[in-house]
Amino acid sequence: MVDAGPGEDAWNLGLDALLASQALLPRLIINTHTHADHCGSNSYFIRKYRARVACTPLEALRAKQPIVEPMMIFGAVPPENLMTKFFLFEPFEAITLFKLSGTGSKAVYTVEPGGFSEHRFHGIDVQVVSLPGHTPGHIGVGKDGVLFVGDALIPQAALVTNPIPIYWDASTAIKTLVVLKDFVNKRTYETLICAHGGKLVDPLNDLETVLKRVRDVLQTLVERADEGDMTLDSAMEVLARRWRMNLVAPTEYFLVRSAVLSYLAYLTDLKILRMVVNKSRLQWLPSTKRNSFEEIISQEMVAKG
């Protein structure tokens, strides 16, 4: 099973009945990532069927200690109204996929976007494909030309309600989207299945649309920075205005805020913006030795090699 679901009782019972109707036993759950809406149901299937769980080491950290998610997203121990099932789930142990790469303090258990490993689980051959960005250790699961992409790609229809694609790492998320485009173009995988939206009829169209949205978000931030005195709140305001986004719940606010920070971090690393603290205010300003946004972003959004 790839991603068990959000852990609500009705969901668990419905999925359980569906599996029973197909005479299927959930022996192994592969989690694309450990967001609560993907792994909240794990504990139900672990308890009932002794199912095991596999995910990448970075995701397994959160599996063991789900409380780190609201702490990461808030930046401190948050107030109680962020400690909800939107972020939290029952902890579980997971078998970890992928090996350690890099050395010293920056060593991480990860594989570059598009890197993969072959596995045989209970007699079933699958590819585990690295698709980081939405979360640091996000993976896809491939079989027979079909790739389950989890949240690495949201279908373009979802941009209506979620206009800002949610990434922990916008830089890597773009590489992942470019890799997915390459997969479809080269027919490595012809069918992409999203966690939120199912099988895509025209995956290239969705990939192009989401990449364009990412580019538009970045460009909007660069233009706002050019006007001067861009704080995180003013960055969020300009994006909310442009895409008529009306955040009302603190959970949603902090999720989008983390995504906006990832876009700002990306522009800072590209030396298009610089982050300064001025009279105790954090601001993003145009970089003094300004790299050209158009030039860089066009290179970033093209498949390498």
User: Which residues contribute to the site for Zn ion (CB under 5 A)?
Assistant: 35, 151
Torsions phi, psi of 150, nearest 5?
60, -125
Residue with tokens 């300003």, as numbered in its chain: 285
Closest distance of CB 132 from Zn ion, Å: 12
Closest distance of CB 287 from Zn ion, Å: 31
**Helix residue ranges, H only, the chain:** 9-21, 36-39, 42-49, 57-64, 68-74, 170-185, 203-227, 232-242, 250-269, 293-300
Measured from each CB, the residue nearest to Zn ion is 35
Smaller CB separation from Zn ion, 170 or 225: 170
Rounded CA separation 234/161 (Å): 21
How many Cβ atoms from other residues are within 10 Å of residue 180's Cβ? 28
Structure tokens at 155: 């279908």
Cβ atoms of residues 232 and 260 within 8 Å: yes
Closest distance of CB 134 from Zn ion, Å: 6
Rounded CA separation 160/271 (Å): 31
Smaller CB separation from Zn ion, 46 or 153: 153
Closest distance of CB 31 from Zn ion, Å: 10
Rounded CA separation 138/122 (Å): 22
Closest distance of CB 160 from Zn ion, Å: 18
Smaller CB separation from Zn ion, 132 or 238: 132
CB within 8 Å of 187: residues ≥ 6 apart? 145
Closest distance of CB 33 from Zn ion, Å: 6
Smaller CB separation from Zn ion, 35 or 181: 35
Rounded CA separation 28/19 (Å): 13
Q: Which neighbouring-strand residues pair with 118?
A: 127
Smaller CB separation from Zn ion, 62 or 224: 62
Smaller CB separation from Zn ion, 151 or 300: 151
